Chain A
Amino acid sequence: MNNTKTLYDGGKVITGLVIFVILVTLPFWYNHGKAAPEPQPQLTAKAKAEKACVRPKSIMKATHMQILNGWRNNVVRNARRIWETADGKRFNMSLSKTCLDCHSNKEKFCDTCHNYAAVAPYCWDCHIDKVKEAKE
């Protein structure tokens, strides 16, 4: 280590370091200690009555987009519309007709987590949720 005390070009170096530290610690300033609440997606009455989704909740939470992608490929490329779960239940592979039938509250279900995690799925480019459809 250097033992001399002189800081050469101290002004510039300190300015650079301050900018660096602010950038690195930006999240701390940006949120200023407020704990943003974890989103709580709401179930509609129909979804609650149904009790179970096509797969268990924990799996749906993490992999629903992969299931939907598989559905899309099956329907569009293989023209297969029926999806059978492990316990023999059959579903129509359709985002609008199956998923959104129960989860008709896109704003309070899908969007809560998607917005929280800053995910912008392009499903909605074509598929319009039913609530919106009814309004229009």
Chain B
Amino acid sequence: MDEDTDKALATHEQELRRGTVVFASLVACRRPQYGYSLLTTLTEAGVPTEANTLYPLLRRLEKQGLLTAVWNTEQARPRKYYTLTDSGAEVAAALHSHWLELDSSITQLWKDGTP
């Protein structure tokens, strides 16, 4: 790939990843997660995310009522745990359905277009 193609790929990958991170965070927060644990969970799951993107995103999802956050001060280091709310769970389930449909559609498109 030449330099221009690389740039175009990077831009499109970023666009693709932007929505994916939201979905992946909701899915991961079905179990309580604090910031750093979520960061490592996503990275290990193959959805590497930058910390400076993830933390503001968690806060936005909390404001939207999709996540609930509770400070746990029982440990040596206080941590803010995020968990999916009921509406967050509905959104995550709906996104999951869309994701599967998209996956199926793209797979079919790919097959149809393959010579």
Chain A complexes with chain B? no
- Chain B interface residues toward A at CB < 8 A: none
